[in-house]
A = this chain, B = another copy of it.
Amino acid sequence: MGRWRPDARERLQQAAFELFAEQGFAATTVPEITTRAGLTTRTFFRHFADKREVFFADEVEMPKVVATLMAEAPASATPMALILEGMRPLVETRFEGRKEVLRQRRELLRSDDGLRERDLRKRAAMADAIREGLLARGLDRTRAALIAETGVTLVYVAIAEWLDTDDDRRLDDIIREAFETLRSELGAS
């Protein structure tokens, strides 16, 4: 058994998700994960800051991706349009067509307070990345924060709606519907 088998991180992630699915997040211990992956506990914590992080391993680069897309995008009509445009590729590649997988993921998320909490942090990280992007475009602090948070809210609320319903509306359309709903609700003039 070769020490040094490659892809330690991926093996850990794989083993973790198998165990989470089999017995839940809380009931799965880190030693269980590392045993299945053929590694040691210490190595797990070299690849993931804590047990929760492995759950979000696939999504770590999402904030950077959005930030890059926003930075490269041409000047949009409005900051909010810029955000929604920057989100579109992510929505397309990571959400659309994966509804069932994402529903399973949400079930796991709902089963554990710690995971829910970490999910909020990931959401905040996304908002931060967007806020930085808006600051770089010259928006003032408060405006940038406001729009970034609102943009992320739109996407998350839309995702919830999308996962809750069984029709085949596209997530992208639901996001835009949410935008229109909020607009009219605020009485934007």
Contacts and interface: CB of A to CB of B under 8 A. Distances in A.
Contact of A120 (B113, B121, B184): B121
Interface residues of A, number: 40
Question: Can you tell how many copies of this chain the complex includes?
Answer: 2
A23 interface: no
A164 B141 contact: yes
Most chain B CB within a 10 A radius of its CB, from A123, A145, A189: A189
Interface of A: 77-81, 113, 116-118, 120-121, 123-124, 141-143, 145-147, 149-150, 153-154, 156-158, 160-161, 164, 178-179, 181-189
18 contacts: A77-B189, A78-B185, A78-B189, A116-B121, A120-B120, A120-B121, A142-B157, A142-B160, A142-B178, A146-B154, A146-B185, A149-B153, A149-B157, A150-B182, A179-B186, A183-B186, A186-B188, A187-B188
